[in-house]
Chains A and B, each alone.
Chain A
Amino acid sequence: MKVAIFGNTLYAGVMSALLSETGHLVYWCSQLDTKADDQQYSFHDENVSHLLEKQLTTGFLRYSDLASIPLDIDVYLFSFNQTQEQQVFQLLHSLKQRPIIHPKLMINASTFGLRGTEKFQQILSDDDWVYLPDTMQEGNALQSLTQAKQLIVGCTRSEVQVKVKELLRPFFPLEQQYLFMPILDAEFTKLSISGMLATRISYINDLAVVAEKLGIDIASVRQGMSADSRIGSAYLAPGAGFGGENFSHDILTLANTVANTGVKSQLLAQVWDINEQQKEILFRKLWNYYHGALQAKSVAIWGASFKENTSSIQHSPIHQMLAALWAQGVTVHLHDPQALDEIEMMYGQRSDLVLHHDQYEAVHNVHGLCVLTAWKQYWSPDFKQLNQLMQHPLILDGRNIYDPHYVKAQGFAYMGVGR
């Protein structure tokens, strides 16, 4: 089949790579407003990038701008992030101008809340619209898609289902691998999955606060819970709060949806609030450690991106930390392997923020070190050097990546989350 893929998300990249690998002819248009040779994507995933490069050389994958996409495309797939809704509308209107023979298979894989697909359908109403929820896990993108037990598809018309199954047959050859349901149901399912995962994180964070007060190490509790096959280990790590653009947006959309139906449910609002609280937990620990006397102190932070292996700082706890520390007159020395440019773009030059490209440089003369993102390079630092460089040997471990006993034995004051 001839497939056109629009959008610069990780999902768009993965689908381009995988579909072209199986012999589909794929035209990927990632940027609507630039030339095809400026191909850009918004993700960092080496496996996906390698596969994409390989497919380009085979000729089954072509980077393309809108104008050079042929008219005889069988399947259009749209995968945008939620800030790009207007661009999608423009794109659909320009597609409408083209002399395409309808109907075509139109796949929406972007999350624009409930009835998002319906809005697209109103523009190109002669086509066959389906919704494919993007439930890909960052950091494990290819496997999470190809090895899914079942694929959720928002599509109820059997003649359209046939087209979907033909497109995805190489990955999902069996009938029972498809879970067809109405589009609205699928959209709500997608949000509900994010809501469930967020609930798990806020639940463990809530327990961590209690554990701390009772002198229990939440790490043991977490291991014990994970050992129960009904629970499993995913999304159970206590820490300084979840972030990320799409995930956070899903939770807010779901919470608003619930609120606007008039149903009296506060669970998701609380999940969100707990997480917002959690984002400044390291600040509160610092505050307590110094009895509120933070004026004119300096603090190092390792990690600004909302999770490791990305430069995205959207909804990252770094923002709450900076605001809280600055309000108390603290100077922040920040290191991050990838996100410093984003930070500088957002906050500009200021005297109470010093950006460091070397993680050890950042801790020079500071009164405490906060680890906010679990980048691999932070896991096994040179503790002796840290101790020598820091003004006061205090480590606040926002991701519980260190062994408390070992760190304390190195002469540090140590505090994790829930331990």
Chain B
Amino acid sequence: MTKQIHPFPVREQTSVVEQLAVLQKQFKELHLNTLFAADEARFKRFSAEYDQIVFDFSKHRIDQQVLSQLVDLAHVQDLDGWIKRLFSCEQINYTEQRAAMHWALRLPKSSPTLPVVNQAVQAQLEQMYALVEKIHAGQCRGATGEVIQDVVNIGVGGSDLGPLMVTHALSDFKVKTAKPLDIHFVSTMDGSQLSGLLHQLRPETTLFIISSKSFGTIDTLSNAQTVRQWLEKALGNNEKILKNHFVGVSTKPDKMTEWGIAPDKQLLLWDWVGGRYSLWSCIGLPIALTIGVEGFKQFLAGAYAIDQHFQTAPFEQNIPVLMGLLGAWNNNFLDIQTHAVLPYDGRLKYFAAYLQQLEMESNGKSIQRNGEKVSSVTCPIVWGEVGPNAQHAFYQLLHQGTHSVSCDFIAPVKRYNANQFTYAESAEALVEQHHLALSNCLAQSRLLAFGNRALAADELQGLPAYKQYEGNQPSSTILLKELNPYSLGMLIAMYEHKVFVQSVLWNINPFDQWGVEKGKEIANQLLPILNREQEDLSSFDASTQGLLKILLGKTDG
């Protein structure tokens, strides 16, 4: 953590860190049972509520003193200033000379902020909405004039994980369309998903979204090339295919045109949107196709609400700030190196995978903004799974293993309450299942926090060691009034800003991803060898040489 220069007096950074180090010694050995025993009003003191979200952080190993020291830490790291810089056009992604303005994607149409940017954003959204309406009305047509009934999103990373996660999460909000409409996702470069999908689709009625910020991602372009051949085989090699079966989403109109995307089927985003923050832009087309234009607007509105909250709420009640600070406390001071995300709602199946990119690609770094190596640890390992399923998998390790793990429990308060056609017939029984999931959610966080103390006294007597629970695993519980486009928009934006808060604490740039660039280059050196265009293996290490020989079928054994 570096020294900052402030226009106003704040506490010396060193004194805050020293103070936290003292608290660290004290809290490392302190059990959550003790903390709860000492303070009856812990939930009231350590929870925050905003709009459709309740954030309970009382099961963290903190007290009032720790919290105020952490808030002080945010101040000495100039979080206020950084938030202002984030919500400006400043190029805070300094390694790529770009601003990070994903928040501008969710500005309301009427917002006076950055009129030029906002106008450009709204223009692209309007174009996307028009396409969505046309598809929903059953009036978007393939080359033969038949109605499009399947849409395949081809993209990888941010162009895949975000839309996939949200589309799945909001499946209950699928709008009725004039003709049945299915959305599919294809990402892996080896064609795994395509090979299983294409034979189920009809070329005449399938539309492909080629979603790539740079329009140069090899994974995506190789999949795109395959589907193009598939279409040409069935419908002939002609201009009508390109015109009627492809939509492009990218920052690069010239590259889209070069590939063959028709000008009226090009949706644009901008360099100032990071890939993992791009689901709010036209990259979110599969989301809008699922939940409709109104749903998508709600989704943006939820994120906008968090943007306002993040900028204005005092840090003690600011949910993204608290999430960031608690994460840093667990990570940097309590030495908890992994963080599990456990939604108690099957619709959030891809949420952990999405967060892995958001958090680890953003903060998995070790060089500070001043060019020096960091002195403390940064992003923890983020992992997770739908809670009730994970209970039958890795919860054993959480309860009785040797690792300290912090957890986020996420659950909707109400479910199956909207009379949606997909579940209406069985709503009553499903509500009971939801209650079952909620009771498990609370039970697990209790047991993790309090260990044996969560059990009844008579149960404890004579309990063998292998049946005992140590507890003291800290967790947050995030309750959503219900999981809907608005609240999911809030939830995602909360994590986005949490990541930003931590990047400020660690003084790193969360918006670049240089660590994923080089591998692609080296792959380019290896491809000619596997294609037998090049023979000489001598430049590679012994292991790679050995593996290459097997792949080329050159071994004797």
Do A and B assemble together? yes
Residues of A with Cβ closer than 8 Å to B? 283-288, 291-292, 323-324, 327-328
Question: In whole angstroms, what is the CA distance A292 to B240 when docked?
Answer: 8
Question: In whole angstroms, what is the CA distance A286 to B144 when docked?
Answer: 10
CB neighbours (8 Å) of A283 from chain B are 145
Contact (Cβ within 8 A) A292 B141: yes
Contact (Cβ within 8 A) B145 A284: yes
CB neighbours (8 Å) of B134 from chain A are 327
Query: At the interface, yes or no: B126 with Cβ under 8 Å from chain A?
Result: no
CB neighbours (8 Å) of B460 from chain A are none
B53 to chain A, nearest CB (A): 40
Contact (Cβ within 8 A) B137 A292: no
Contact (Cβ within 8 A) B139 A292: no
With contacts A292-B240, A292-B244 known, is A287 near B139, CB below 8 A?
no
Question: In whole angstroms, what is the CA distance A292 to B143 when docked?
Answer: 7
CB neighbours (8 Å) of B137 from chain A are 323, 327
| Chain B residue, CB-CB nearest to A288 | B145
| Chain B residue, CB-CB nearest to A325 | B139
| Chain A residue, CB-CB nearest to B139 | A327
A317 to chain B, nearest CB (A): 15
Chain B positions 115-147 with a Cβ under 8 Å from a chain A Cβ: 134, 137, 139, 141, 143-146
Query: At the interface, yes or no: B243 with Cβ under 8 Å from chain A?
Result: yes
| Chain B residue, CB-CB nearest to A286 | B145
Question: In whole angstroms, what is the CA distance A283 to B244 when docked?
Answer: 16
Contact (Cβ within 8 A) B139 A324: yes
A315 to chain B, nearest CB (A): 15
Q: Kindly list 7 other residue pairs between chains A and B, CB separation below 8 angstroms, not including A292-B145, A323-B137.
A: A284-B145, A285-B145, A287-B141, A291-B240, A292-B143, A324-B139, A328-B139
8 pairs of residues in contact across A and B, judged by CB atoms under 8 Å = A284-B145, A284-B146, A285-B145, A287-B141, A291-B240, A323-B137, A324-B139, A327-B134
A210 to chain B, nearest CB (A): 15
Question: In whole angstroms, what is the CA distance A248 to B244 when docked?
Answer: 32
CB neighbours (8 Å) of A323 from chain B are 137, 139
- Residue of B145, B146, B240 contacting most chain A CB atoms (<10 Å): B145
Which 9 residue pairs spanning A and B have beta carbons closest together? A284-B145, A327-B139, A287-B145, A288-B145, A291-B240, A292-B244, A292-B240, A292-B243, A324-B139
| Chain B residue, CB-CB nearest to A295 | B264
CB neighbours (8 Å) of A284 from chain B are 144-146
- Residue of A285, A286, A287, A323 contacting most chain B CB atoms (<10 Å): A287
CB neighbours (8 Å) of B139 from chain A are 323-324, 327-328
- Render B216-253 as a binary contact track against A, CB cut-off 8 A, 1 for contact: 00000000000000000000000110011000000000
Question: In whole angstroms, what is the CA distance A380 to B538 when docked?
Answer: 83
| Chain A residue, CB-CB nearest to B264 | A295
Chain B positions 193-225 with a Cβ under 8 Å from a chain A Cβ: none
CB neighbours (8 Å) of A288 from chain B are 144-145
A355 to chain B, nearest CB (A): 22
Question: In whole angstroms, what is the CA distance A328 to B139 when docked?
Answer: 8
- Render B131-173 as a binary contact track against A, CB cut-off 8 A, 1 for contact: 0001001010101111000000000000000000000000000
Question: In whole angstroms, what is the CA distance A288 to B143 when docked?
Answer: 8
A240 to chain B, nearest CB (A): 14
CB neighbours (8 Å) of B141 from chain A are 287, 292
CB neighbours (8 Å) of A292 from chain B are 141, 143, 145, 240, 243-244
Question: In whole angstroms, what is the CA distance A74 to B348 when docked?
Answer: 68
A229 to chain B, nearest CB (A): 37
| Chain B residue, CB-CB nearest to A283 | B145
Chain B positions 504-544 with a Cβ under 8 Å from a chain A Cβ: none
| Chain A residue, CB-CB nearest to B134 | A327
B396 to chain A, nearest CB (A): 43
CB neighbours (8 Å) of A291 from chain B are 239-240
| Chain A residue, CB-CB nearest to B243 | A292
- Residue of B134, B141, B240 contacting most chain A CB atoms (<10 Å): B141
Question: In whole angstroms, what is the CA distance A136 to B103 when docked?
Answer: 66
| Chain B residue, CB-CB nearest to A323 | B139
B426 to chain A, nearest CB (A): 16
B139 to chain A, nearest CB (A): 3
CB neighbours (8 Å) of A286 from chain B are 145
Question: In whole angstroms, what is the CA distance A285 to B144 when docked?
Answer: 8
Chain B positions 411-435 with a Cβ under 8 Å from a chain A Cβ: none
| Chain A residue, CB-CB nearest to B239 | A291
B423 to chain A, nearest CB (A): 19
CB neighbours (8 Å) of A287 from chain B are 141, 144-145
Question: In whole angstroms, what is the CA distance A328 to B145 when docked?
Answer: 11
| Chain B residue, CB-CB nearest to A328 | B139
CB neighbours (8 Å) of B145 from chain A are 283-288, 292
| Chain B residue, CB-CB nearest to A326 | B139
B235 to chain A, nearest CB (A): 11
B243 to chain A, nearest CB (A): 6
A329 to chain B, nearest CB (A): 11
- Render B350-383 as a binary contact track against A, CB cut-off 8 A, 1 for contact: 0000000000000000000000000000000000
A212 to chain B, nearest CB (A): 12
| Chain A residue, CB-CB nearest to B133 | A327
Question: In whole angstroms, what is the CA distance A283 to B144 when docked?
Answer: 11
CB neighbours (8 Å) of A328 from chain B are 139
A388 to chain B, nearest CB (A): 29
CB neighbours (8 Å) of A324 from chain B are 139
B145 to chain A, nearest CB (A): 3
CB neighbours (8 Å) of A327 from chain B are 134, 137, 139
A280 to chain B, nearest CB (A): 8
| Chain A residue, CB-CB nearest to B146 | A284
CB neighbours (8 Å) of B143 from chain A are 292
B103 to chain A, nearest CB (A): 35
| Chain A residue, CB-CB nearest to B140 | A327
Question: In whole angstroms, what is the CA distance A287 to B204 when docked?
Answer: 13
| Chain B residue, CB-CB nearest to A277 | B146
A261 to chain B, nearest CB (A): 16
| Chain B residue, CB-CB nearest to A287 | B145
